[in-house]
């Protein structure tokens, strides 16, 4: 029997798992594979150089799956911001109905998407921001704990407390993100009140992931201790893989007087990070990874992964249900 939650009902998916919208990773082959496996695949808008390229990616994804998939639009702090409105318009015109939003003040974007009949899942790292997202009219929230890859916020609150607070205080459904890589993690966040899980690092390490095989094998060989936080002193904390470059960035930030972004700009450039995935050299640049690496031991297809997650979560939920017994039976 499938696990039925507000997420599966809202999106029409079988497994309550959403693939994270990862830069350079959320491309048609991966998004389609996740959707075909029963979850929700996500295309990352900003992986594409312009809105027309996103249109082409959406059309390619449609040739690979007839299942629902979504588009991630992350609003980044930038002097010269991307054409967010253009990306959103292109996706809406191509018939995309599910969006994952994240980043700075997405109200204008959310208003446009909701006016066009779209479902919006907004990613937050604090309960305060989650409540603000709910007031904007999003359909569901994605709550990022401190365990997550990428930007976990500045408050360092782990998922165990953050999700329990979300269950008590939020007025709309939410999914959980950060440190989830298997059926046990899915069952745990469902117990904490989430309607499903968002997974990024785990989907990086699948057959259909577009990154170099060397990087996939590096993830398998790594543990939960192989990440580091950069940009802490710049109040834009990011969890990334612990390599020569990220450790150099941390060393520069720890100098007396701290660091300015100009001091580390070349080390952290997105072009270098992209080359990591293309060339397979884990030390070439900064690349994102979460502590879920400690739970990743293989490189399955997305279908195999989602089937395993679904089966294991169902087994654990059934086992937990059997722990509740009549008082008389408990004494025997």
> Is there a domain that residue 221 lies in?
no
pLDDT at 258: 86
Q: Could you write out the three-class secondary structure of 156-200? A: CCCHHHHHHHHHHHCCCCEEEECCCCCHHHHHHHHHCCCCCEEEC
Q: Are residues 156 and 256 in the same domain?
A: no
Q: Which domain holds residue 84?
A: 6-212+297-321
Q: Are residues 305 and 269 in the same domain?
A: no
DSSP symbols for 258-270: ---HHHHTTTT-H
> Is there a domain that residue 277 lies in?
yes
pLDDT at 332: 58
Q: For each of the chain's 332 residues, which pLDDT tens digit applies?
A: 799 999 999 999 999 999 999 999 999 999 999 999 999 999 999 999 999 999 999 999 999 999 999 999 999 877 789 999 999 999 999 999 999 999 988 999 999 999 999 999 999 999 999 999 999 999 999 999 999 999 999 999 999 999 999 999 999 999 999 999 999 999 999 999 999 999 999 999 999 999 999 999 999 999 999 999 999 999 999 999 999 999 999 999 999 988 999 999 999 999 999 999 999 999 999 999 999 999 999 999 999 999 999 999 999 999 999 999 887 666 65
Nearest to 298 by CA among 211, 209, 206: 206
> Is there a domain that residue 28 lies in?
yes
Q: Are residues 75 and 103 in the same domain?
A: yes
Radius of gyration of the chain (CA): 20
Q: Hey, what's the torsion of the CAs at 260, 262, 264, 269, to 10 degrees? A: 140
Q: Are residues 281 and 305 in the same domain?
A: no
Q: Which residues contact 281 (CB under 8 A, 6 or more apart)?
A: 214, 275
> Is there a domain that residue 27 lies in?
yes
Q: What is the three-class DSSP state of 27?
A: coil
Q: Are residues 29 and 10 in the same domain?
A: yes
Read off the tokens for 109. 């974007």
> Is there a domain that residue 189 lies in?
yes
pLDDT at 120: 98
Report how far residue 187's alpha carbon sits from residue 189's, in angstroms, rounded to the nearest whole number. 6
Report how far residue 107's alpha carbon sits from residue 215's, in angstroms, rounded to the nearest whole number. 36
> Is there a domain that residue 276 lies in?
yes
Q: What is the DSSP letter of 288?
A: B
List, in sequence order, the alpha helices (H) in the chain.
6-11, 28-36, 51-64, 84-93, 107-115, 127-136, 159-169, 183-191, 201-204, 213-221, 244-253, 261-264, 270-279, 302-321, 327-331
pLDDT at 1: 78
Number of domains making up the chain: 2
Q: Are residues 243 and 202 in the same domain?
A: no
> Is there a domain that residue 130 lies in?
yes
Q: Are residues 249 and 116 in the same domain?
A: no
């Amino acid at each position: 029997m499938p696990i039925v939650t507000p997420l599966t009902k809202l999106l029409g998916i079988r497994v309550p798992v959403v693939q994270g919208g990862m830069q350079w990773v959320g491309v048609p082959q991966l998004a389609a594979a996740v959707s075909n496996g029963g979850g929700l695949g996500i295309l990352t808008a900003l992986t594409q150089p312009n809105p027309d390229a996103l249109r082409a990616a959406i059309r390619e994804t449609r040739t690979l799956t007839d299942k629902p998939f979504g588009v991630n639009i992350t609003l980044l702090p930038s002097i010269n911001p991307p054409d967010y409105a253009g990306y959103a318009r292109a996706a809406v015109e191509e018939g995309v109905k599910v969006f994952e939003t994240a980043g700075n003040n997405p109200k204008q974007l959310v208003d446009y998407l909701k006016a066009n009949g779209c479902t919006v899942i907004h990613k937050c790292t604090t309960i305060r921001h989650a409540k603000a997202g709910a007031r904007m009219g999003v359909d569901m929230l994605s709550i990022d704990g401190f365990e997550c890859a990428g930007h976990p916020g500045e408050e360092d609150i782990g998922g165990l407390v953050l999700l329990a607070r979300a269950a008590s205080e939020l007025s709309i459904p939410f999914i959980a993100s950060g440190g989830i890589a298997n059926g046990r993690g899915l069952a745990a966040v469902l117990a904490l009140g989430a309607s499903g899980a968002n997974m990024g690092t785990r989907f990086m390490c699948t057959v259909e992931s577009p990154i170099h095989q060397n990087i996939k094998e590096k993830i398998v060989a790594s543990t939960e201790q192989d990440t580091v936080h950069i940009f802490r002193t710049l109040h834009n904390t990011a969890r990334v893989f612990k390599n020569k470059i990220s450790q150099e960035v941390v060393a520069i930030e720890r100098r007396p007087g701290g660091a300015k972004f100009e001091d580390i700009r070349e080390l952290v450039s997105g072009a270098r990070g992209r080359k990591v995935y293309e060339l397979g050299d884990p030390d070439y640049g900064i690349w994102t990874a979460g502590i879920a690496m400690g739970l990743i031991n293989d490189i399955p297809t997305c279908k195999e992964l989602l089937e395993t997650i679904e089966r294991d979560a169902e087994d654990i939920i059934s086992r937990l249900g059997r722990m509740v017994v009549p008082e008389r039976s408990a004494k025997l």
